[in-house]
Structure 1
Amino acid sequence: MEIGKKLKKARVQSGYTQEEVAEQLQVTRQTISNWENEKSYPDIISVISLSEVYQISLDELLKGDDRMIKHLDETTNVVKSNRKLLFAVIVNILLMALFVVINMTLPENKYILAGSFSIIMISTATLFYQLIKKF
């Protein structure tokens, strides 16, 4: 059974409305609705809070829902996230080194210089975006 169905079933069995649960979790009613309709997934803190509000174990709530487990893994796996960020930094450094080498060996070819400079700028912007998003 998917997490949305489980959340709705637990809420109904507990006798709460979406609005009441939203107040307890300090989120909007629409957020509760989105979780129940699987338009979005709760974060790990919200899952724990829902477990407490509905007086249901985390195991019962999460067991058998591979998409929710994957979502929680992706949002809480710091090691995997840091590896991806380190990989992006290394790729960016290699691209910059490549740009310097190209600039030294082919200074007269403006199209290659412009293309490689554009790639480096896009790579750097993407890296900065990921850093900003992380912090």
Structure 2
Amino acid sequence: MIVGEKIKKYRTEKGFTQLDMAVMLDVSENTYRKIENNASSPDIVTIDKIAKFLEKGFTDLLPDECINITNTDNKGGNNGYIINKLPEKLIEQYEERIKELKDQVQELKEEIKSFKNR
């Protein structure tokens, strides 16, 4: 289930209208509708506000595939939630940027080598 669908589900369970939610968030009703219809992605602060209004945890509103719950034996380490799924477009952008940086590093190495050979 994606963010907007979860928000709508929890909102209706609480008996709030879209207008109620818009007023609580201090946004227009149209803006709120876009969030529920997944036409607009709320930022983290907005998701947190919505979660509090709906008496849910922040991660309850995130898509299921974004959450990896880990629980170690309390001897340290990472206990809790890890958001581990990035949108494909963002991954592509990161990979492209990494390639650009690797190319720049290679160019700089070649420049250094040419300076040493002078």
TM-score (norm 2): 0.55
The CA distance in 2 between the partners of 1:44 and 1:33, in whole Å, is 17
Work out whether 1:37 is the aligned partner of 2:37: yes
The CA distance in 1 between the partners of 2:58 and 2:16, in whole Å, is 19
**Number of aligned residue pairs:** 77
Q: Identity across aligned pairs (percent)? A: 29
Would you say the 8 A contact 1:3–1:65 is kept in 2?
no
What corresponds to 1:15 in structure 2?
Answer: 15
Would you say the 8 A contact 2:35–2:41 is kept in 1?
yes
Relative to structure 1, is the Cα distance of residues 36 and 65 closer, same or farther in structure 2, using a 3 angstrom cutoff? Answer: farther
The CA distance in 2 between the partners of 1:64 and 1:21, in whole Å, is 23
What corresponds to 2:77 in structure 1?
Answer: none
The CA distance in 1 between the partners of 2:33 and 2:65, in whole Å, is 18
The CA distance in 2 between the partners of 1:2 and 1:65, in whole Å, is 9
Would you say the 8 A contact 2:2–2:63 is kept in 1?
no
Match of 2:64, SS? coil
Would you say the 8 A contact 1:2–1:65 is kept in 2?
no
The CA distance in 1 between the partners of 2:33 and 2:15, in whole Å, is 16
More helix by share: 1
Structure 2: tracts of 5 or more residues without a match = 67-84, 105-118
The CA distance in 2 between the partners of 1:20 and 1:60, in whole Å, is 20
The CA distance in 1 between the partners of 2:23 and 2:29, in whole Å, is 8
Relative to structure 1, is the Cα distance of residues 46 and 52 closer, same or farther in structure 2, using a 3 angstrom cutoff? Answer: same
What corresponds to 2:64 in structure 1?
Answer: 64
Structure 1: tracts of 5 or more residues without a match = 75-79, 91-135
Query: What do you get for the CA RMSD once the two structures are aligned?
Result: 2.8
- 1:61 Cα offset (Å): 1.3
More strand by share: 2
Match of 1:6, SS? helix
TM-score (norm 1): 0.48
Higher radius of gyration, 1 or 2: 1
Would you say the 8 A contact 1:34–1:40 is kept in 2?
yes
